[in-house]
Structure 1
């Protein structure tokens, strides 16, 4: 069973160390001290080379912020994208490279994203009718996570450029966070208009590119590699209970609101009554699962991020910060502010 098959290992999520390797290559290419970063974050070469190696999302974001600090390049995510290879997306990247069309390549990357990345904020998606690949929202945005959006959108773009041999492939890029004053840098890199402060994070491809066959297209190899991906995906999900799957789908729904059992059941492709019965057979219920999910996420947000208490309250789906404070005191006997002070005092 891979690390990704344990959805509670880090409630905020984790990603493949292959992405950390790309980040370190970008740091070195920009004149930063990659070896010092490896030492600072306790990363060694065998660990970075392991296909199954994972790094928690908060740790990866801190690594990215440190890399930006040492290189002085706030657009380091673009550099990461430029240095991304199909193999850096694991076997899903190789499967994508052999697809019949770019559309199928992106669909492959999106379908098997869980093989290399599990984030509590959501999962990527494809809007085929608009020729778009969409990365989920990771708001609230700050200096620790801008580069994540940049690197993903740039990596998708670079992979398509690699597959097609074309550079002028996009019609538009949309980025959810506000402009950081580097609009021209981004438009020069993506070679198309870039909209900041948008309602989504996405790249929209030209129609001719969407339908183009990658240079390494091979039907038989694509089928073989996607079968391997499918087997890995099912192996991951095999280790999940109904409560695990419900928690995985519930977490992105928490932002700013409390999800209902009807919404969650619909996401799971079942009925509210059936879901409640399945959870009961595992010794839990919807309300208990919701409460425990919030409690675990609250601890990780307080320990692992610099998000404000009001931001954490929103991320956990509470109506307001006082409701979060009341729940946290019920869970742990102290306020979240007191707990954060305790953490800082002990470091």
Structure 2
């Protein structure tokens, strides 16, 4: 069998997963007393994948093959849940570190949605709010193994417990795949919540009140640093993703005070009209992306006490503080100063 070696995938038809994910699977195999090197060889995966490089990617089909070999060897129908326990934030590179530095679990969820493409191109995640509940709903772009579903949902819940509180539990969990013949016991033990199978899509339902609680490990500076890294990696990963590329260019040009549609289009070697057309195909525009990116950056910057309001004004490309303050009130409903005070009180 030909071995898959690390590659920097530019073909949009090849859906990939971050290579660092293989590290968690390797640790889970070793935990089960299995020689992971032998299993990776059997699945046709080179050992060089066992490193932390966000641009080393495994095709989703290769990941499914790897899990099949793992199941054949371990005879463990819950192997995906075991993998979830061994996924470290470092396995997801910039995305993982940004999640760990989030101000609360809602920010955690928003980052997961925004940057999940760095972890895997097999699906996207959306946030659906319904009264007192918030759902993380997964939309799959291709068929994935049951173990992939299990590892994703397990990782999210276990990470939230680590960052927030060990007693944290979701309201309920749904899986697309059927329940294993051996039963739902291990799922109920891990999630400590009702678990449904054969559902329309994988979904994690959470209490909104839990998501709004401040996290002790929050660090706005680190979160922003890794947000920017995640943006840049996603833009490099998929050169056909015009929205991610434009976001990255906006972040790059804002501090210079010269972030226009024409400049971004020139950097992408296309005309402003072509750029606008490409963005319209994604139901957005340059001005909408500029405003949304400024809003995301502003909320992060204002929480960083080392940055003055004047510094933030120019980092976001505003000509003066009054223009920034008006924009911030439109985004958040309060002034930057009041938002900063509220953030400090919540984290006290």
Which residue in the other structure is 2:37 paired with?
Answer: 35
Which residue in the other structure is 1:225 paired with?
Answer: 226
Which residue in the other structure is 1:201 paired with?
Answer: 202
Does the 8 A contact of 1:101 with 1:210 survive in 2? yes
Give the whole-Å Cα distance in 2 for the aligned partners of 1:187 and 1:180.
13
Which residue in the other structure is 1:110 paired with?
Answer: 113
Which residue in the other structure is 1:174 paired with?
Answer: 174
Give the whole-Å Cα distance in 2 for the aligned partners of 1:190 and 1:230.
31
Q: CA deviation at 1:124?
A: 1.9
Q: CA deviation at 1:128?
A: 4.0
Give the whole-Å Cα distance in 1 for the aligned partners of 2:19 and 2:216.
27
Q: 1:1-347 counterparts in 2 under 5 A?
A: 6-8=10-12, 11-51=13-53, 52-119=55-122, 122-129=123-130, 130-137=133-140, 145-181=145-181, 182-237=183-238, 239-240=239-240, 268-269=282-283
Q: CA deviation at 1:37?
A: 0.7
TM-score (normalised: structure 1): 0.63
Q: CA deviation at 1:92?
A: 0.6
Shift of the 132–270 alpha-carbon distance from structure 1 to 2, 3 Å rule, reads closer
Q: CA deviation at 1:67?
A: 0.5
Give the whole-Å Cα distance in 2 for the aligned partners of 1:164 and 1:241.
33
Which residue in the other structure is 1:338 paired with?
Answer: none
List 4+ stretches of structure 1 deviating above 4 A: 2-5, 264-267
Shift of the 69–138 alpha-carbon distance from structure 1 to 2, 3 Å rule, reads farther
Shift of the 4–204 alpha-carbon distance from structure 1 to 2, 3 Å rule, reads farther
SS at match of 1:134: strand
Does the 8 A contact of 1:84 with 1:158 survive in 2? no
Q: CA deviation at 1:212?
A: 2.2
SS at match of 2:121: strand
Q: CA deviation at 1:178?
A: 2.2
Give the whole-Å Cα distance in 1 for the aligned partners of 2:59 and 2:196.
30
Q: CA deviation at 1:42?
A: 4.2
5+ long unaligned stretches in structure 1: 246-263, 272-347
Give the whole-Å Cα distance in 1 for the aligned partners of 2:141 and 2:193.
23
SS at match of 1:268: coil
| Deviation by residue 1:133-153 (Cα, 9 ceiling, x = unmatched) | 12224676xxx7111111111
Residue correspondences, number: 243
Which residue in the other structure is 1:304 paired with?
Answer: none
Q: CA deviation at 1:220?
A: 1.9
Give the whole-Å Cα distance in 2 for the aligned partners of 1:210 and 1:197.
27
Shift of the 46–192 alpha-carbon distance from structure 1 to 2, 3 Å rule, reads same
Q: CA deviation at 1:200?
A: 1.9
Give the whole-Å Cα distance in 2 for the aligned partners of 1:193 and 1:22.
26
RMSD of equivalent CA atoms: 2.8
Q: Which has the higher contact order (CA 8 A, sep 6+)?
A: 1
Does the 8 A contact of 2:235 with 2:241 survive in 1? no
Q: CA deviation at 1:43?
A: 3.7
